[in-house]
């Protein structure tokens, strides 16, 4: 068993060393001052120069004021109205303590079709609530801005292990920021590259 542990640890170390060599490009930053008035047309305009392949994204806010308990109650109310309401996980209260002026809400990545995923998180995807997402339009407080930072990673990876590298980088960022919502490694084991 020790041999297996050592072998797998060496493989992980090698992958993490490869991730250390990745240089992220500057992010595209989208600031939404009023989510209530933000539309699919606005999203299409904001995402017109964003490629769909291998994208890392972070949702944050500089003026988010709801408490952990208030959000738990909001989510509970939403779930009671719709049995198939799949809203993102609320992380432990310790994740909500401010490390800076910016509240990190969610860290995620998407291999394909980033616009569709952002529509889900924003709650712009109609009435469907079957995919785990933030669905911010359903509960986001008025007069609270939202920032989405997007890193297009297609060009920074080598030909091999793009998906795996993207997930390693997402997990490293998640570990540092400890976002208020979502899960670490949510997509890491869903598939592997051939």
- For the entire predicted model, the pTM comes to 0.89
If one counts the domains in the chain, the total is 1
Asked whether residue 165 is assigned to any structural domain, the reply reads: yes
Asked whether residue 185 is assigned to any structural domain, the reply reads: no
Q: Give the domain extent around 168.
A: 2-177
- Distance of alpha carbon 166 from alpha carbon 172, whole angstroms: 10
Nearest Cα to 191, choosing from 115, 128, 112, 113? 112
CA dihedral 72, 141, 55, 117 (to 10 degrees): 80
Nearest Cα to 60, choosing from 159, 184, 177, 189? 177
Instruction: Please give the residue that has the higher pLDDT: either 161 or 139.
Output: 139
Nearest Cα to 118, choosing from 43, 188, 50? 43
Asked whether residue 192 is assigned to any structural domain, the reply reads: no
Asked whether residue 191 is assigned to any structural domain, the reply reads: no
| Structure tokens, 184 | 């670490």
Asked whether residue 182 is assigned to any structural domain, the reply reads: no
First to last CA, the chain: 26
- Distance of alpha carbon 90 from alpha carbon 24, whole angstroms: 28
Residue 145 CA: distances (Å) to CA of 70, 71, 112, 179: 18, 17, 27, 17
Mean pLDDT of the chain: 87
Question: Per-residue pLDDT for 165 more than 70?
Answer: yes
The alpha carbon dihedral of 24, 26, 30, 31 has a sign of positive
Asked whether residue 186 is assigned to any structural domain, the reply reads: no
Question: Per-residue pLDDT for 192 more than 60?
Answer: no
**78-130 residue pLDDT tens:** 988 887 889 999 999 888 876 678 899 999 998 888 999 999 999 998 878 88
Asked whether residue 21 is assigned to any structural domain, the reply reads: yes
Asked whether residue 194 is assigned to any structural domain, the reply reads: no
**47-80 residue pLDDT tens:** 888 877 789 999 999 999 999 999 999 999 998 8
Question: Per-residue pLDDT for 190 more than 90?
Answer: no
Question: Would you place residue 193 in the very low, low, confident or very high pLDDT band (cuts 50, 70, 90)?
Answer: very low
């Amino acid at each position: 068993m020790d041999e297996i542990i050592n072998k797998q640890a060496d493989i992980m170390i090698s992958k993490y060393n490869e991730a250390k060599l990745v240089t992220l490009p500057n992010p595209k930053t989208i600031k939404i001052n009023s989510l209530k008035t933000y539309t699919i047309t606005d999203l299409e305009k904001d995402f017109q120069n964003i490629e769909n392949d291998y994208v890392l994204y972070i949702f944050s806010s500089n003026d988010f004021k709801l408490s952990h308990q208030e959000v738990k109650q909001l989510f509970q109310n939403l779930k009671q109205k719709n049995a198939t309401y799949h809203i993102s996980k609320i992380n432990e209260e310790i994740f909500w303590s401010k490390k800076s002026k910016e509240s990190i809400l969610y860290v995620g990545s998407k291999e394909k079709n980033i616009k569709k995923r952002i529509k889900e998180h924003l709650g712009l995807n109609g009435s469907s609530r079957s995919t785990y997402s933030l669905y911010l339009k359903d509960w986001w407080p008025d007069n609270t801005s939202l920032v989405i930072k997007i890193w297009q990673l297609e060009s920074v990876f080598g030909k091999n292990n793009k998906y795996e590298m993207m997930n390693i980088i997402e997990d490293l960022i998640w570990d540092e920021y400890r976002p208020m919502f979502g899960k670490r490694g949510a997509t890491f084991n869903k598939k592997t590259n051939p």
